[in-house]
Structure 1
Amino acid sequence: MARGSTKEQIIVAAVETLHQKGFNGTSVQDITEAAQVPKGSFYNHFDSKETLAVEALERYWQKVLNGLSTLGDEKTPAVVRLNRYFQHLNDVARQAGYRTGCMIGNMSAEMPDQSRAVRERLAVLLAAWSRAIESCVREAQADGTVRRDMEARTIAMFLLNSWEGAMMRAKVDKDAVALTAFVDVAFGALVT
């Protein structure tokens, strides 16, 4: 089986390495070793580790988008889709042994003051993620299954922000307790 292009190998290795070790815990050498390419190859494709981090976030975002498709299944009631979506995220965390968390959340905690480019990309991704959740919340409000006394945008931001916090706690505790509490409390408080 042929390996992908050198640039592709570097991006794939960067997603994995940055997700596991964080930006500051990852060197260019770590990435090139994981990609099995010479270190000099890195600079043929990327100006800096920061530039690669932005591309790695984009690649990780594609995985997030795949999961978000759950929210668009209009045959299923919106509140059920929301619950299934967060259960899916919790399952992904469990399968990873609560080691890696969410790369977007991890980099949001680590990078905002270190890299404007990474911070701006994170802001765009988090806003898009919130909008996808907001759309489903709006449907659930319209069918009366989610409370209507708060804006859908506010609820969506709360859900995403709270899940990211629960994910960080799950990484520390190495168990599902925080993630389960998030689902129980969030849906207990929002569902009518």
Structure 2
Amino acid sequence: MKLFTERGFNGCSVQDITEAAVVPKGSFYNHFKSKEALAAEIVTEYGKGSTDRSILNNPEVPALTRLKRHFAALNEYFSRCNDGCLVGKFMAEVSDETPLIREMLLSVLNVWGEQISAAIAEGQEQGTIRTDLKADDLAAFLIDSYEGAILRTRVEKSPKALKYFVKVVFSSIIV
């Protein structure tokens, strides 16, 4: 995963991967049909929890607070991680030639979106989150905006975009 996070999908060869793992190329192909199959597997594992999303599902915490804590935890993680987000990197590289990766990315984004949407819907019921927009639409906007902020942090070599995201989202977008 480290090589893909540092270099992206297209920046890694099977040779690079096997050298980093200190395994023969033949061993790689015994476990994975292709580099794309490995990348899809990594996306699946990454989506299970590069950061803790359990806060989004905690009914004992008000929904708006859960969302704030979730994005604060993400900001903490990505402020320390100079290589950005593996999902975002792969999204920038996905093409018609990598359908397996595209499917896994969609799956990860859908699960994350469902979790955020559920918290937003609860917040709407609690009266702390605006109701003029659908929870699913707000969730999609948050994810798309956040992934864009992560990309910008890579360009600027600064977490400013992540801080702006939180400031704007929680002062005017969802409240």
For the criterion TM > 0.5, the same-fold answer is: yes
Residue of structure 2 in register with 1:3 after alignment:
none
Residue of structure 1 in register with 2:37 after alignment:
51
Q: Structure 1 residues 125 and 191, CA, compared in 2 at 3 Å: closer, same or farther?
A: closer
- Which secondary structure state, in structure 1, belongs to the residue aligned with residue 43 of structure 2? helix
Q: What is the distance in 2 between the residues matched to 1:88 and 1:112?
A: 30
Greater CA deviation, 68-77 or 132-141? 68-77
Which of 89, 99, 115 does residue 74 from structure 2 map onto?
89
For 1:131-170, what aligned pairs fall within 5 Å after superposition? 131-170=114-153
For structure 1, the residue ranges without an aligned partner over 5 or more in a row are 1-14
Q: Is the 8 A contact 1:29 1:39 kept in 2?
A: yes
Residue of structure 2 in register with 1:6 after alignment:
none
Higher relative contact order (CA 8 A, sep 6+): 2
1:24 aligns with 2:10: yes
1:62 aligns with 2:48: yes
For 1:120-139, what aligned pairs fall within 5 Å after superposition? 120-139=103-122
Any runs of at least 4 consecutive aligned residues in structure 1 with deviations exceeding 2 A, and if so which?
none
Q: Is the 8 A contact 2:138 2:174 kept in 1?
A: no
Residue of structure 2 in register with 1:118 after alignment:
101
Task: Please list the CA deviations of residues 108-165 of structure 1 after superposition, one character each: whole Å capped at 9, or x if unmatched.
Answer: 1111333111112211211111111000000111101110000000000011110000
Q: What is the distance in 2 between the residues matched to 1:107 and 1:36?
A: 24
- Which secondary structure state, in structure 2, belongs to the residue aligned with residue 63 of structure 1? coil
Letter in 2 for 1:19: T
1:71 aligns with 2:56: yes
Greater CA deviation, 151-160 or 106-115? 106-115
Letter in 2 for 1:86: F
Q: Is the 8 A contact 2:117 2:139 kept in 1?
A: yes
Letter in 2 for 1:156: A
For structure 2, the residue ranges without an aligned partner over 5 or more in a row are none
1:180 aligns with 2:166: no
- Which secondary structure state, in structure 2, belongs to the residue aligned with residue 113 of structure 1? coil
Task: Please list the CA deviations of residues 54-98 of structure 1 after superposition, one character each: whole Å capped at 9, or x if unmatched.
Answer: 11111111224x5110111221111011011011111001122xx
